[in-house]
């Protein structure tokens, strides 16, 4: 198989390139050449899809599948799709569950309403950009397009820092503020499982839209944090704390305490999407212990979470140690 990845050095793009190389595919990446290296044997084309004639390097190429992780202007997504329409058989676009109009509603499926977005737009918030790019790709490729609406993505290479923060926190040891309840379901997908599924789907010419994330409750906060303690081998003691008291103290789910989204929160639906269609199409998910262990090995190797390609400012992730200590004080 001949694979083209638009991007290819970030979290999802990098995992997709690595998996394709492992399979023995012929892999080409197209990017500005500003972020990260590519594996040996991968052909790199340089260009800036936002610049005039920025897609010129793609001219004359032929590929079986393209995977596109773009999260910028929908107009740029449409331009790339148009340039590749006769050069690539199948288009896989990595979108997001953020496109739904009401992310709080549990059980959102692929036909649930999405935000208003224009395929020709050059700006907007994250949900509008992703929704607009979905429309742009479908406009050109139709049923030759696979739209993968990812949810929470974890695993080696994570450039946001959610799981790495918990691992580093466990490494410090001591009493750890653990946001309850321990049996709170968590819905996520390991980046390697997402990448493998997208490549399988592309090779099969699978079209349509899919919530590309694991089943709701495939793990829990308790299982996840226990796995973090075990992976680091540190003397960390989980202090399970009622969510009401955490919220009353002004602690923000998802940012101050990554991955945690308590029941009743306006965005709880982000972790309770319907994935019937993706599971039926072959998406499988490895155990949480494997995701955590492999992320810890990767994190020790690289030392720090890498900057996000194209968006180096990822904002503040994780609770300040002094604030955590105050919340744990008798």
**CATH number reported for the structural domain that contains residue 167 in this entry:** 3.90.25
One pLDDT digit (tens) per residue for the chain, 330 residues: 999 999 999 999 999 999 999 999 999 999 998 888 899 999 999 999 999 999 999 999 999 999 999 999 999 999 999 999 999 999 999 999 999 998 788 999 999 999 999 999 999 999 999 999 999 999 999 999 999 999 999 999 999 999 999 999 999 999 999 999 999 999 999 999 999 999 999 999 999 999 999 999 999 999 999 999 999 999 999 999 999 999 999 999 999 999 999 999 999 999 999 999 999 999 999 999 999 999 999 999 999 999 887 665 656 899 999 999 999 998
Say if CB 307 and CB 159 are below 8 A apart: yes
| 246 and 300 in a common domain | yes
Tell me the residue ranges of DSSP E strands in the chain: 2-6, 26-31, 43-46, 63-68, 88-96, 145-150, 153-154, 174-179, 185-186, 189-190, 208-212, 219-220, 236-241
pLDDT reported for residue 4: 98
Domain count, the chain: 2
| 57 and 167 in a common domain | no
Strand partners, 266: none
Determine, yes or no, domain membership for 280.
Answer: no
- Polymer length of the chain: 330
Determine, yes or no, domain membership for 163.
Answer: yes
| 180 and 140 in a common domain | no
Burial pattern 144-169, b for ≥16 Cβ within 10 A else e, equals: bbbbbbbbbbbbbbbbbbbbbbbbbb
Determine, yes or no, domain membership for 278.
Answer: no
| 131 and 16 in a common domain | yes
pLDDT reported for residue 21: 98
Nearest to 113 by CA among 102, 105, 125, 128: 102
| 297 and 229 in a common domain | yes
| 248 and 110 in a common domain | no
Tell me the residue ranges of DSSP E strands in 70-144: 88-96
Determine, yes or no, domain membership for 279.
Answer: no
pLDDT reported for residue 316: 81
The gap between the terminal CA atoms of the chain, to the nearest Å, is: 60
| 142 and 47 in a common domain | yes
| 200 and 57 in a common domain | yes
| 144 and 51 in a common domain | yes
Determine, yes or no, domain membership for 23.
Answer: yes
CATH code of the domain containing 84 = 3.40.50.720
Determine, yes or no, domain membership for 276.
Answer: no
| 11 and 129 in a common domain | yes
Determine, yes or no, domain membership for 27.
Answer: yes
| 305 and 178 in a common domain | yes
What is the domain extent for residue 296?
Answer: 157-186+217-271+286-328
pLDDT reported for residue 325: 97
Sheet strands side by side (includes 145-150): 43-46, 26-31, 2-6, 63-68, 88-96, 145-150, 208-212
pLDDT reported for residue 314: 57
| 208 and 69 in a common domain | yes
Determine, yes or no, domain membership for 60.
Answer: yes
């Amino acid at each position: 198989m001949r694979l083209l990845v638009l991007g290819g050095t970030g979290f999802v793009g990098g995992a997709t390139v690595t998996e394709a190389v492992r399979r023995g595919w012929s892999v080409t990446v197209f990017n500005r050449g500003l972020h990260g290296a590519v594996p040996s044997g991968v052909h790199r084309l340089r260009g800036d899809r936002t610049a005039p004639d920025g897609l010129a390097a793609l001219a004359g190429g032929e590929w079986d599948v393209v995977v596109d992780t773009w999260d910028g202007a929908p107009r740029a997504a449409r331009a790339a799709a148009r340039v590749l329409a006769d050069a690539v058989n199948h288009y896989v676009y990595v979108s997001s569950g953020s496109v739904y109009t009401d992310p709080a509603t549990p059980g959102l499926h692929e036909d649930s309403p999405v935000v208003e977005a224009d395929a020709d737009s050059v700006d907007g918030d994250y949900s509008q950009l992703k929704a607009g790019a979905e429309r742009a790709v479908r406009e050109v490729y139709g049923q030759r397009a696979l739209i993968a609406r990812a949810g929470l993505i974890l695993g080696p290479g994570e450039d946001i820092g959610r799981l790495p923060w918990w691992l580093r926190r466990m490494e410090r040891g001591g009493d750890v503020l653990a946001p309850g309840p321990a049996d709170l379901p968590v819905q996520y997908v390991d980046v390697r499982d997402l990448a493998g599924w997208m490549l399988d789907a592309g090779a099969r010419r699978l079209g349509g839209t899919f919530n590309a994330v694991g089943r709701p409750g495939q793990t829990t906060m308790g299982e996840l944090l226990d796995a973090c303690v075990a992976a680091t081998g540190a003397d960390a003691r989980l202090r399970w704390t009622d969510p009401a008291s955490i919220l009353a103290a002004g602690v923000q789910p998802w940012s101050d305490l990554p991955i945690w989204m308590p029941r009743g929160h306006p965005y709880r639906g982000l972790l309770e999407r319907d994935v019937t269609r993706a599971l039926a199409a072959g998406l499988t998910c490895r155990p949480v212990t494997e995701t955590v262990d492999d992320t810890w090995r990767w994190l020790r190797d690289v030392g720090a979470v890498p900057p996000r390609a194209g968006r180096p400012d990822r904002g503040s992730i994780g609770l300040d140690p002094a604030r955590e200590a105050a919340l744990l004080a008798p």
